[in-house]
Amino acid sequence: VFMALGGWSLSQLGIDAFPDTTPVQVQINTIAPGLAPEEVERQITFPVEQAINGLPRLQQLRSISKFGLSQVVVVFADGTDIYFARQMVNERLSIARIPEGMPRPQMGPIATGLGEVYHYLVLPKGPYPSSAQARENELRHLRTIQDWVIKPALRTVPGTAEINGWGGYEKQYQVRISLDKLLHYGISFDRVLEAVRANNLVTGGGNIQQAGAMYPVRGLARTSNVEEIKNIIVDTPRPGVPVRVGDLAEVGIGHEIRLGGVTSQGRGEVVLGLCFMLMGENSHEVTDRLKEKLAEIKKTLPADVELTPAYDRTRLVDQVLDTVKKNLFEGGLLVIAVLFLFLGNLRAGLIVASAIPLSLLFAFCGMWRFGIAGSLLSLGAIDFGLMVDSSVVMVENVVRHLAHDKEDSRRHLDIVRDAALEVRAPTMFGELIIMIVYLPILTLEGMEGKLFRPMALTVIFALTGSLILSLTLMPVLASLFLPRRLKEKEVWLIRATRWLYAPLLRLSLRFGVAVLLLAAASLGLGALLGAGLGAEAVPQLSEGSFVVGILRLPGTALEESLRYNTAMEKMLLATFPDEIERVWSRCGTAEVATDPMGPEETDMFITLKPRHQWTKATTQAELADQIR
Query: Who contacts 20 (Cβ-Cβ below 8 Å, separation ≥6)?
Result: 112, 113, 114, 373, 450
pLDDT at 377 over 90: no
| Residues forming a β-bridge with 273 | 120, 165
What is the structure's pLDDT at 573?
93
Please report, for the domain that includes residue 579, its CATH number.
3.30.70.1430
pLDDT at 242 over 70: yes
Q: Where are the alpha helices (H) located in 199-345, listed in sequence order?
A: 226-230, 245-248, 283-298, 313-343
Mean pLDDT of 331-360: 80
pTM: 0.81
Mean pLDDT of 489-493: 71
Q: How far is CA 205 from CA 202, 211, 220, 232, 233, in A?
A: 10, 19, 10, 21, 22
H helix and E strand count, the chain? 25, 18
Please report, for the domain that includes residue 202, its CATH number.
3.30.2090.10
Give domain status of residue 600, yes or no: yes
Identify the band that residue 19 occupies on the pLDDT scale cut at 50, 70 and 90.
confident
Pick the closest to residue 332 from 176, 462, 447, 230 (CA basis). 462
Give domain status of residue 346, yes or no: no
pLDDT in tens, 184-207: 888 999 999 999 988 888 877 788
Mean pLDDT of 210-229: 86
Give domain status of residue 564, yes or no: yes
If asked whether residues 515 and 581 sit together in one domain, one would say no
If asked whether residues 572 and 610 sit together in one domain, one would say yes
If asked whether residues 521 and 550 sit together in one domain, one would say no
Give domain status of residue 197, yes or no: yes
Between 34-43, 67-76, 440-449, 465-474, the lowest mean confidence (pLDDT) is in: 440-449
- The answer to whether 555 and 600 are in contact (CB under 8 A) is yes
Give domain status of residue 34, yes or no: no
For β-strands 269-277 and 160-166, DSSP reports them as antiparallel
If asked whether residues 506 and 552 sit together in one domain, one would say no
If asked whether residues 622 and 589 sit together in one domain, one would say yes
Helix (H, G, I), strand (E, B) or coil at 460: helix
If asked whether residues 578 and 512 sit together in one domain, one would say no
Give domain status of residue 187, yes or no: yes
Domain tally, the chain:
3
Mean pLDDT of 259-281: 91
Residue ranges making up the domain that contains 190: 172-206+219-255
